[in-house]
Amino acid sequence: MADATNPIKQFEIHPIADLTIGGLNLSFTNSSYFMVVSVILVSGLLSLAMTKRALVPGRSQSVAEMLYEFVAGMIRSTAGDDGLKFFPFVFTLFAFILMGNMLGMMPYFPAPEFHGFTFTSHIIVTFALAVLVMLVVVGYGVMKNGLKFFSIFFPSGVPPVLYILVTPIEIISFLSRPVTLGGRLFANMLAGHILLKVFAGFIVMLGSVGALGVLGAVAPLVMVVALTALEFLVAFLQAYVFAVLTCIYLSDALHPGHH
Amino acid sequence: MAMTQPIDTAPIDAEAAFPPFDPTYFASQLFWLAISFAVLYFLLSRFILPRIGGAIEERRDRIADDLDTAAHMRDQANETVRAYEKSQADPRARAQRVAAGAKAEADAEIAEAVREADARLDAQQAESEARIREARGAALKEVRSIAAGAAAAITERLAGLDVTAADAEKAVDAVRKG
């Protein structure tokens, strides 16, 4: 019963199928399960929406196209038209994170242990995604611009003397990007889900006290409803923020000159 | 009631760390994340996104084509209207010209007829006047000879004098003048 009100329980990882390769524990867990479900849902729903590929789109096709145009517009406005070569990457990031966040909003899910799980509430996952973004940025930036890429550490319009001060700051800010990028998503999802579960736990606790408790439980119930709405917003917003920041960082790799 | 106590103070699985920071499954999570992300990227970039983009592109092309066609048709319609107006304008001008010509001709004819009629009437009038004058002269002359005859007859009856016609006429003239 303690599990019911334990706000941390939802973040636990349970192995489903054990797998060890080279001494590494690579078990298929409920986290992996949700990732796979995300992949299946994203690709399945989008494919399903596009089966007819009608000239005049139906409802689902409209949504798929809206999502497409949304991400394309986001890239165009932040990284310019040449940023569109990263469109599949940004779209995959956005869709994957969005689906993960949204799946996390399900309190119960046909999953092992039957508790909802948000793989974006695990720092290793968000950090890995952020590092992937930075690797793409640095990799592409160096490949395309060579050493000129590192001019992002020497912003134009600054007197050269100040580079002593500015450049270390730029380097630190660049290096902290994966931390903030991954940390933001992780912290938002973690905090939101803990908060939800804490208030939901109040309902259970108050409800078991008696008639007065049941009456008092209305307040946290209202709170949970409101928080759920907020969390849906956050789930979308954080996926969006992640994608937008990715675009902005990619813009550095595309045009390191104007910083 | 009895349950609330242990819940509040329940140690959160003392043996396990805070799950999001528990490194036990870091490797597993990274491994499956890499696989899922790679698979999703592959599916999206290879199959799904080109399909969506293609549909959007197709629609945009189609709309642009349709707009082009519409603009073309509009131009054509305008052209037709212009041609029609032009074809209308030529005969109309010609008709106007013809009408104006006919009118001028008719006017001239009318004026001519009026002038002719005037001339004829004037001539007739002059002729009639001459005839009247002549008739009057003749009549007057006859009056004189009648008066002279009557005077001679009266003189012969009353005075028994035989007056010649010339004398009688002279006397009539004298009376008429006097």
Q: Is A228 inside any structural domain?
A: yes
Pairwise CB contact (< 8 Å): A125 & B33: yes
A positions 95-154 inside 8 Å of B (CB): 95-96, 119, 121-125, 128-129, 132
Range of the domain at B64: 54-177
Most A-contacting residue of B52, B59, B65 (CB-CB within 10 A), to test interface: B52
A36: contact with B, CB 8 A cutoff: yes
Q: Which of residues 143-172 of A touch B (CB under 8 A)?
A: none
Contact map slice: B 39-78 vs A, CB within 8 A: 39-41, 43-45, 47-49, 51-56, 58-59, 62
Minimal Cα distance from A97: which residue of B?
Answer: B37
Angle between helices A59-79 and A87-104 (to 10 degrees): 120
pLDDT band, very low/low/confident/very high, at A4 (cuts 50, 70, 90):
low
SS3 A20: strand
- Closest Cα in chain B, distance from residue A146 (Å): 27
User: Considering the domain boundaries, does residue B19 fall inside one?
Assistant: no
Tens digit of each residue's pLDDT (9 = 90 or more) over B58-89: 999 999 999 999 999 999 999 999 999 988 88
Q: Nearest chain B residue to A17 by CA: give it.
A: B28
Q: What band does A158 get if pLDDT is binned at 50, 70 and 90?
A: confident
CB distance from A48 to chain B under 8 Å?
no
Is residue A74 assigned to a domain? yes
pLDDT beyond 50 at B2: no
CA–CA separation, B51 and A51 (whole Å): 9
Does residue A91 carry a pLDDT above 60?
yes
Closest approach of B69 to chain A, Cα-based (Å)? 18
Q: Answer whether residue B100 is part of any domain.
A: yes
Closest to A50 (Cβ–Cβ): which among B4, B39, B55?
B55
Interface test with A, best of B26, B39, B63 (most A CBs within 10 A): B26
Give chain B's domain count.
1
At how many degrees (to 10) do helices A59-79 and B49-159 cross?
100
pTM of the model: 0.74
Chain B residues touching A208 at Cβ < 8 A: 1, 3-4
Overall domain count for chain A: 1
B1: confidence class by pLDDT, cuts 50, 70, 90 = very low
Instruction: Provide the 8-state DSSP code for A8.
Output: T
pLDDT value at B163 more than 80: no
Residue A259 pLDDT greater than 70, yes or no: no
B:2-31 residues touching chain A, CB 8 A cutoff: 3-4, 6-8, 10, 12-13, 16, 18-22, 24-31
Residue A259 lies in a domain: no
Question: Is residue B45 in some structural domain?
Answer: no
| A202-231 mean pLDDT | 90
A150 and A137 in contact (C-beta within 8 Å)?
no
Residue B58 included in any domain = yes
CA distance A131 to A137: 10
A68 contacts in B (CB within 8 Å)? 49, 52-53, 56
* Contact criterion met (CB < 8 Å) for B36 and A35: yes
State the average pLDDT over residues A47-51: 92
Count Cα neighbours of B55 within 13 Å in the Cβ-side half-sphere: 25
Residue B13 lies in a domain: no
Ramachandran category for residue A147: left, alpha or beta (phi over 0 → left; psi -120 to 50 → alpha): alpha
Q: A88 and chain B: CB distance < 8 Å anywhere?
A: yes
Per-residue pLDDT band at A102 (split at 50, 70, 90):
very high
Tell me if B2 is assigned to some domain: no
Nearest-neighbour CA in chain B from A217: distance (Å): 14
What does the DSSP assignment read for B94-156? HHHHHHHHHHHHHHHHHHHHHHHHHHHHHHHHHHHHHHHHHHHHHHHHHHHHHHHHHHHHHHH
Q: How far apart are CA A163 and CA A149, in angstroms?
A: 16
